[in-house]
Structure 1
Amino acid sequence: MPADMNDYFKKKKPSNNSMNTNNNSGGGGNFNNPLSGMGKGAPWMFIIVVIGFALFVLKPFTIINSGEVGIKINTGKFEQEPLGAGLHFFVPVLQKIIPVNTRIRMITYSDVRTGELGDAYRNLEGGLKRNPAITVLDKRGLTVNIDIAVQYRLKAETAPATIEKWGASWEEKIINSKVREVVRDVVGRYTAEQLPEMRNEIAAAIETKVKESVDSLENRPVILASVELRTINLPPKIKDQIERVQIAKQDVTIAEQEKEKAKQQAQRAAEVARGEAERNRIEAQGEADKIRIEAEEQAKANRLISDSLSPELLQLEQIKTQNKFNEALKVNKDAQIFLTPGGAVPNIWVDAKGKEKQRLMGQQ
């Protein structure tokens, strides 16, 4: 550069003294560095503040709670490895993390409005949905409403692939459509009158077929916990008819029970009568046996007595009796003594004095 040009720029460059003078005088024409008086660490502090502000505004991180998995999207492409619970960072604009609930979820199909469990914790809990009751045509074309409840959860291992394939409305596409299809297919095989009687079989068939239908999907994206048949709402006319039939069956059952009761009572009475007759027979037989035995013993005794009698014994007995009469005559001198022939009874005596009294009383 020519010397004159160098001299020119030197003359144009302000000196340090002149800059300080201008600053003190408050001149606004020259630039003043605000960090010049904060020391060497000022730039780093400024950088930290900027980074903190960027983190606060852009928020390049998210927290995955327990019972959830995170799905990371890189420039619109889903990563197939789900993120577990904890803190995860991503690059704003280029990346995004979507938390997905993997807890037990429930869909109820009912026209009864009741409070849902967990409403106060919806931001954390979620997974509670209510749909109208499923309207089904029975075998004859009558309308029947089915109340049902389904519990299920999203499979955590395949959650990214499930959301990528089925989208955010995967519940409607997988659970809701399968349940309605199976319920209509199963219930449509029966007439409305058969539904209450076949309730257990219908409930088992619905649960089995819904599980088979959901499990048959690729990678089994949803794990089905239970399918509960709650209520079968029949048309009013069919309901009244079923009630009349049930009342008639109950009347028949009561009549049969009364008949069986009367039969049992008759059987008990017959048993009692047979027992009484048997008891009387046994008692009569016992009495007859007693009389027979007594007669036999008496006959034996008579035979023994007869065999033991002899003329000498009879004569001795006659002498004993005669002595008794003699003793009696000492006391009652009016006694009369009769001798019987044959000596079977040695003597018979009567009180003659008593007989005289009786004659005198008769004359009076």
Structure 2
Amino acid sequence: MATRQPEFNFPKGGLFFIIIAVAVIILFSKSTVTIGPGEGGVIFESLGDGINTEKTYSEGFHIVAPWNRMIVRKVRQQSISDEMNVLSVNGLEVKVNGTIWYEPEFSNLGKLIKTKGEDYERELLDPAINAAARSVVGRYTPEQLYSSKRDVIEQEILDEIKIVLKDQYLLVTRVLVEDVKLPTTIRTAIETKLKQEQESLEYEFRIAKAEKEAKRQKIDAEGKAVANKILSASLTDKILQEKGISATLELSKSPNSKVIVIGSGKSGMPIILGNQ
């Protein structure tokens, strides 16, 4: 006799509730967005007018309608590096390596994305950087680009970019020109010229130093000559005799054995004889 297997009766409406639960979970997952540190978000309203430019969402957890989409972009300061081929004032092609620091205006992130798209760096920032670099570098010679004008060029490029990006909801805060690459022959010529100028300055310094020393020695010699002239004019025979006597008295006090002959020297000065 066959054994009858027990039947499992699925609750009526159970499948319906499962479907509803799954749908709710999917719907909830699509309706929640977490915006990370240093980021901001704007809503793209699929059933409305597209990007909502009135509000920028800050960091944290947010719930949006499932038919809308949250566009999240970095709003903290960022940097972009690039190498540009530009022409100097005399038409020589040079390569400029630079870094730009920028950040979108937080409150106007929606307007920035609506007018320039999500890839606003490529659409807006890159052209502005290239235009500013070409405009500024075109004012200088290769020598100025290679040596002493780096900080001035950075500030001028920054000023030019700010003009181009005015009212575009994108801020550029700093420009750094890291390297200027010239053709090898031009770079070698500039380095040779700079070396020669340095050697010339060093030579001029040595000459100036020697001239100063010669002038000092001349003044010193002239001073001594004047002093000797004054001294000679003031030394009479009587003064010399008096100084000789004083010296003789000092020598006579010395413990060394000696013989002093008074009045035997020239002009009556003592003559000192001794074994020391």
TM-score by length of 1: 0.58
Q: 1:250 aligns with which of 194, 198, 201?
A: 198
1:173 aligned residue: 123
Structure 1 pair 52/153, CA: closer, same or farther in 2 (3 Å)? farther
In 2, distance between residues paired with 1:99 and 1:258? 66
Structure 1 pair 188/286, CA: closer, same or farther in 2 (3 Å)? same
**Structure 1 stretches of 5 or more lacking a match?**
1-24, 37-41, 110-132, 295-364
In 2, distance between residues paired with 1:61 and 1:267? 87
Percent sequence identity is: 26
1:203 aligned residue: 154
Greater radius of gyration (CA): 1
Q: Please, what is the CA RMSD of the aligned residues?
A: 3.0
Q: 1:139, 1:190 within 8 Å by CA — same for their partners in 2? A: yes
1:17 aligned residue: none
In 1, distance between residues paired with 2:160 and 2:237? 81
Q: How many corresponding residue pairs? A: 234
177-186 or 54-63, which moves further after superposition?
54-63
- Superposed displacement of residue 52, structure 1: 5.3
Structure 1 pair 55/269, CA: closer, same or farther in 2 (3 Å)? farther
2:59 aligned residue: 85
Q: 1:193, 1:238 within 8 Å by CA — same for their partners in 2? A: no
Q: 1:149, 1:228 within 8 Å by CA — same for their partners in 2? A: yes
Structure 1 pair 290/242, CA: closer, same or farther in 2 (3 Å)? farther
**Structure 2 stretches of 5 or more lacking a match?**
243-276
Determine if the alignment matches structure 1 residue 186 to structure 2 residue 136.
yes
Q: 2:108 aligns with which of 154, 158, 177?
A: 158
In 1, distance between residues paired with 2:181 and 2:104? 31
- Superposed displacement of residue 26, structure 1: 6.7
- Superposed displacement of residue 56, structure 1: 4.1
In 1, distance between residues paired with 2:141 and 2:32? 58
Letter in 1 for 2:205: Q
Deviations 1:249-270 (A, max 9, x none): 1221122111101101101111
Letter in 2 for 1:34: F
Q: 1:232 aligns with which of 180, 184, 187?
A: 180
Letter in 1 for 2:181: N
Q: 1:207, 1:228 within 8 Å by CA — same for their partners in 2? A: no
Determine if the alignment matches structure 1 residue 67 to structure 2 residue 18.
no
1:147 aligned residue: 97
- Superposed counterparts of 1:1-364, under 5 Å: 34-35=10-11, 47=17, 53-58=22-27, 59=29, 60-75=31-46, 77-80=50-53, 81-92=55-66, 94-109=67-82, 133-196=83-146, 197-214=148-165, 216=166, 218=167, 220-288=168-236, 291=239
Query: Greater share of strand residues, 1 or 2?
Result: 2
Q: 2:42, 2:56 within 8 Å by CA — same for their partners in 1? A: yes
Q: 2:87, 2:94 within 8 Å by CA — same for their partners in 1? A: yes
Letter in 1 for 2:10: P
- Superposed displacement of residue 278, structure 1: 2.9
